Chains A and B, each alone.
Chain A
Amino acid sequence: MMGVLALLQDYTIQNVVAGAALLGLISGVLGSFAVLRQQSLLGDTMSHAALPGVCLGFIIAGTRHMGSILLGALATGALAALVMLLLTRMSRLKTDAGLGIALSVFFALGVVLLTYIQGMNNAAQGGLDAFLFGQAAATLRSDVWIMAGITVVALALVVALWKEFKLVTFDPEFAASLGMPVVWLEVGLTVMIALAVVVGLQMVGVVLMAAMVIAPAVAARQWSHRLEDMVWLAAAIGVAGGVFGALLSALSRGLATGPLIILSVSGVVLVSITLAPGRGLVWEALRLWRGRRRQRDQQVLTTLYRLAAHHDDPVYRSEQGMLDTYHGLGTRAALRKLERRGLVEWGQAPPGEPGPERRWVLTPAGIAEAERILASLNGEGA
């Protein structure tokens, strides 16, 4: 604990942690909309497509000026989304192909521009390809302010247009019937993903940004059924994952920040999918298992009842072995449970009868329960 506190005094680490928190915040909030609108991979395309923008920003500004680089990234990211839309709307290509084409061709253009800049022998170009994987450690205080500014703008837009965005996300047709400018709202949501990508460039780089948009939102979705809760949670998960990853990288010295942030957030996804109350896989498995066991108990009980009915003997004593053959092995556990519930009991064999001495007998409560089960089954059948 002292180690972490000491770390937080470090100027560089303060910047990194602040940057990671901002990234988690903005991508958690905007990612929620993207994931719900099934546009998860658009973030992937837009982040890869930010690379040529980074290079163009550098070429135009002539130096590694953060503002122009981010502006360039924003422009080409949004342009890639537009190209993808054009390709899918105006030709027979499907969304996946449109996404893949925009992603790979824009990225290739970025690679070309990157090598072009390297060929210019400009001393200031150092570390431009750090945007591929991010270069959290090089984050300056001024970068953090820029990221904070972008985050505030994006969040303010979300708050101001909350009702509209919500409706467009869940029911665009209804939104259109209310006279909302659906196309513009969708464009707005898309461009805002580009804002998140821009914030993430420095921290996790263009390649891993996809997960940063998707993971917090998917994790949060497991815990909540309301957009409000989901967005809050996604933001919290994004911030927590970002800060945790950043601190881990600071402690480990030499491990890249971006991948650690991605792994932290993805870890939350794994936990959420398995353990979230209600939706968690573990709970579902447990429910399934319980249901199966209850059904098995009921089957054993009704078998006893039918045997008794068949022999016209309400206290017919069934052998354990016979029940095992009816149900396959392992009715003992079920019978023990029924016994504990007072539905069956051990019956003493009358003297002189061959075979095992003690057998299973239905109690009056057991008979009533078995009749209730059979009646409900018949009721369903009718």
Chain B
Amino acid sequence: MLAALFDNVPLMIMLVGALVGIASSLVGTFLVLRGNSMLSDAIGHAIVFGIVIVWLLTHQQSGPVQLVGAALTGLLTVVLTELLVRTRRVKQDAAIGLVFPVLFSIGVLLLNLYARDVHIDTHTVLLGEIGFVWLDTVTLGDLRVPRALLSMGAMTLLNAAFVGLFYKELKLATFDEGLARALGLAPGVLFYGLLMLTSGTAVAAFDAVGAVLFVAFVIVPPATAYLLTDRLWLMFGYGTLVSIAASVSGYYLAVAWNVSIGGMMAVMTGVFLMLAFLAGPRYGLVAQWLRRRGQRRLNEIRTLAVHLYNHEGTPAQREENVTRALREHLLWDDAKARRVVERSCERRLIVRAGEALSLTSAGRELAREILEPGRSRR
């Protein structure tokens, strides 16, 4: 039963993809919130150097020692970047862009030199081969489990444990670093822990999605979540959902069009981001547009109410309080004037009697609120 599960190739691929996404967005959430997303790009590239070095030293690519060793180069990138920034000669963005290409270049040159010894080629470095994860298996008891599934599962658990254990501390360090430091929480150490886990995740995900696609899994699901909610714990939920959805839809689309599975999964995270960007409940473009339209309409109705109120009971009422007059006095064209009158009638703020428009008591109240704010209601 379980064996059949592990022999199900599509399921294994989707599971690995989802785990890459979940593990990455656990750490990525904090990177996005802190404004350090591009560090994941630097880490993703720099671990190529680490993986090659570790391979040359130990002639093994997977294993805990290898994972930690390669992950250390990710941390090295961050430390070097920090050092460069601290010289005050280089701004942070430039420093990031200086350090990782150097490490990446050395990695590529080492691959050139020792290509015969290293089983990874430069192509895999960037793209990964998630479609082949089921080829590399480990035997656990009498089950053959894909190695990538194990390492990604372990990384997901580790990240979840870190976030779970230090949830309060991470939250405080992210949103109010000064307070966190004042309370003695060592936000710097926490952050380095987070980056170490990011590097570890990058190394574990390397075989599956490569160095660059990893960046999509770190940044895009949390960014999508950020567009959907203000709650930190909900961000993890949305990040997980986006990861799973992108993995499943990406797999089937990739199979249908016969294209790179990892690439398609990453593209799908982008598609979900676009959806959130357009249709998110509060921050989405549509929601923003609706809110603005609502505000504009409210303003128009209020303007009309004020106009009617001002001329109410004056000799000019007969000429002023008609739809026609709005064109001259409020500079509205006929269509717009008619629309506003229509909406005001719907809201029972004004009533029409023939041509004449007059305020209802609710409409009068609205106009008074604007013209005489703060006055107690009579």
Tell me whether A and B are bound partners: yes
Interface residues, chain A, CB within 8 Å of chain B?
35, 38-41, 43-44, 48, 87, 90-97, 99-101, 103-105, 107-116, 119, 129, 132-133, 207-208, 210-211, 213-215, 217-218, 221-222, 254-256, 258-260, 262-263, 266, 269, 273, 279, 281
- Given the complex, which residues of A lie within 8 Å of B302, measured CB to CB? none
- Given the complex, which residues of A lie within 8 Å of B38, measured CB to CB? 41, 44, 96, 99-100
**Given A101-B220, A259-B108, residue A266 in contact with residue B102 (CB < 8 A):** yes
Interface residue? B57 (CB, 8 A): no
**Given A100-B38, A273-B90, residue A109 in contact with residue B126 (CB < 8 A):** no
Q: Do B94 and A208 have beta carbons less than 8 Å apart? A: no
> B263 is contacted by which of A108, A211, A281 (Cβ under 8 Å)?
A108
For the complex formed, measure the closest distance between the CB of B218 and the CB atoms of chain A, giving whole angstroms.
8
Q: How far, in angstroms, from A254 to B219 measured CA to CA in the complex? A: 36
Q: How far, in angstroms, from A207 to B216 measured CA to CA in the complex? A: 15
Q: How far, in angstroms, from A176 to B264 measured CA to CA in the complex? A: 43
For the complex formed, measure the closest distance between the CB of B23 and the CB atoms of chain A, giving whole angstroms.
16
Q: Do B219 and A97 have beta carbons less than 8 Å apart? A: yes
- Size of B's binding interface in residues, CB under 8 A: 59
- Given the complex, which residues of A lie within 8 Å of B84, measured CB to CB? 273
- Given the complex, which residues of B lie within 8 Å of A133, measured CB to CB? 108, 122
Interface residue? B314 (CB, 8 A): no
**How many A-B residue pairs lie within 8 Å, measured between CB atoms?**
200
Interface residue? B109 (CB, 8 A): yes
Q: Do B105 and A101 have beta carbons less than 8 Å apart? A: no
Q: Do A116 and B257 have beta carbons less than 8 Å apart? A: yes
CB closest chain-A residue, reference B101: A211
- Given the complex, which residues of A lie within 8 Å of B40, measured CB to CB? 100
Which residues of B from 13 to 52 have beta carbons under 8 Å from A?
32, 35-38, 40-41, 45
- Given the complex, which residues of B lie within 8 Å of A208, measured CB to CB? 101, 104-105
- Given the complex, which residues of A lie within 8 Å of B248, measured CB to CB? none
Interface residue? B239 (CB, 8 A): no
Q: Do A108 and B270 have beta carbons less than 8 Å apart? A: yes
Q: How far, in angstroms, from A254 to B111 measured CA to CA in the complex? A: 11
**Given A214-B94, A273-B87, residue A111 in contact with residue B260 (CB < 8 A):** yes
**Chain A interface mostly:** helix
> B97 is contacted by which of A90, A211, A222, A260 (Cβ under 8 Å)?
A211
Q: Do A94 and B35 have beta carbons less than 8 Å apart? A: yes
Q: Do A260 and B109 have beta carbons less than 8 Å apart? A: yes
Q: Do B113 and A255 have beta carbons less than 8 Å apart? A: yes
Q: Do A108 and B285 have beta carbons less than 8 Å apart? A: no
- Given the complex, which residues of A lie within 8 Å of B219, measured CB to CB? 97, 100-101, 104
**Given A208-B104, A262-B102, residue A112 in contact with residue B220 (CB < 8 A):** no
Q: How far, in angstroms, from A262 to B49 measured CA to CA in the complex? A: 15
- Given the complex, which residues of B lie within 8 Å of A39, measured CB to CB? 93
Q: How far, in angstroms, from A160 to B6 measured CA to CA in the complex? A: 64
Which residues of B from 97 to 155 have beta carbons under 8 Å from A?
97-98, 101-102, 104-106, 108-109, 112-113, 122-123, 126-127
Q: Do B91 and A100 have beta carbons less than 8 Å apart? A: no
Q: Do A108 and B213 have beta carbons less than 8 Å apart? A: yes
- Given the complex, which residues of B lie within 8 Å of A48, measured CB to CB? 212
CB closest chain-A residue, reference B271: A105
For the complex formed, measure the closest distance between the CB of B88 and the CB atoms of chain A, giving whole angstroms.
9
CB closest chain-A residue, reference B109: A259
- Given the complex, which residues of B lie within 8 Å of A115, measured CB to CB? 258-260, 263
- Given the complex, which residues of A lie within 8 Å of B91, measured CB to CB? 35, 38, 40
CB closest chain-B residue, reference A120: B258
> A107 is contacted by which of B36, B98, B212 (Cβ under 8 Å)?
B212
Q: How far, in angstroms, from A210 to B103 measured CA to CA in the complex? A: 13
Q: Do B89 and A40 have beta carbons less than 8 Å apart? A: no
> A116 is contacted by which of B215, B259, B270 (Cβ under 8 Å)?
B259
Q: Do A40 and B93 have beta carbons less than 8 Å apart? A: yes
Most chain B CB atoms below 10 A, which of A104, A111, A207, A259: A104
Interface residue? B199 (CB, 8 A): no
List 12 interface pairs A-B (beta carbons < 8 Å), by A numbering.
A91-B283, A92-B227, A94-B35, A100-B38, A105-B269, A105-B273, A107-B213, A111-B126, A111-B260, A218-B94, A263-B109, A279-B89
CB closest chain-A residue, reference B48: A207
